[in-house]
Amino acid sequence: MTDRKLEICCGDIDSVAAAVAGGADRVELCSALAEGGVTPSEGLIGKALEMRGKAGVHVLIRPRGGDFLYDSQEADIMVRDVLTARRLGAQGIVIGALKTDGSIDTELCRRLISEAEDMSVTFHRAFDLCASPMESLEQIIGLGCDRILTSGLAPSAELGAEMLKRLNEKAAGRIIILAGGGVSPANAERILELSGVSELHASARSAIKSPMTYRNAGVAMGRPDSDEYSRLVTDKTIVRQLSDIIHNPSHHE
């Protein structure tokens, strides 16, 4: 059986600790998960690497939220962030860029991959916004990426399971299809079974309340409806449940 892996998307150091304790094989490290994730700070990368245990740390390279169409200044920022991740000792980077017509920006991706040198490279869910998935799959394989993170171009990996299966079959071992998007202990086994993929990506988060005793509830730092006194953090128990499904499939037959 293909070696199965669990990747946990972590947006803060508490989440990294929970992912490692829960048995994740890999951490995708980012910030601002509410925006789909952006590049984390040098401080967060360094601290995550210190406490990663046996888990690999792959750093998201994304200079802002919004679309995946980047200009030359943003491209320069991304190159600098790749160099920072490499200098700090990250095991991999997570990249993605599109052109206006929904095709893969192979020129920018090739530049980032070149700077990554021997780090592992994942093409992220920009893939889910591409115009031609099968053509894009071949382009990404041609770039030399190790895996593609995708929901199968659907709102969730469960809904995209049929496309994930098609992509996995067409990849034929040339690249790993990493299924992500709404993955939970409730549907992980079904996604694995329907798609045939061997790697899953999840945030595995639950809400925790702030220990602040003084509160000014009338002021929001982000959206007007945001709650500054609770946040979503990776939950060790959920990670452990997912890890068990991934690594001990006989227990769930």
pLDDT number for residue 18? 98
For 7, half-sphere exposure in the C-beta direction (CA atoms, 13 angstrom radius) is 28
Q: What is the DSSP string of 100-113?
A: TTS-B-HHHHHHHH
What is the per-residue pLDDT for 218? 80
Q: What pLDDT is recorded for position 2? A: 62
pLDDT value of position 128? 98
Distance CA 52, CA 30 (A): 14
| Phi, then psi, of 7 in degrees rounded to 5 | -110, 135
Would you say 177 and 199 are in contact if contact means Cβ atoms under 8 Å apart? Answer: yes
Structural domains of the chain, ranges and CATH numbers in brackets:
5-252 (3.20.20.380)
Phi, psi dihedral angles at 143 (to 5 degrees): -70, -20
pLDDT of residue 77: 98
- Residues in the chain with pLDDT < 70? 1-2, 250-253
In which residue are the tokens 């992912």 written? Answer: 19
User: Where on the phi/psi map is residue 144: left (φ > 0), alpha (ψ -120 to 50), or beta?
Assistant: left
Per-residue pLDDT reduced to its tens digit, 19-35: 999 999 999 999 999 89
- pLDDT of 1 reads 45
What pLDDT was estimated at residue 253? 52
Establish how many alpha carbons lie within 13 A of residue 177's alpha carbon, considering only the half-sphere containing its beta carbon: 33
SS3 category, 95: strand
Report pLDDT for 252.
Answer: 53
pTM, to two decimals: 0.94
The string of pLDDT tens digits covering residues 124-166 is 999 999 999 999 999 999 999 999 999 999 999 999 999 999 9
143: exposed, middle or buried (Cβ count in 10 Å: 0-12, 13-18, 19+): middle
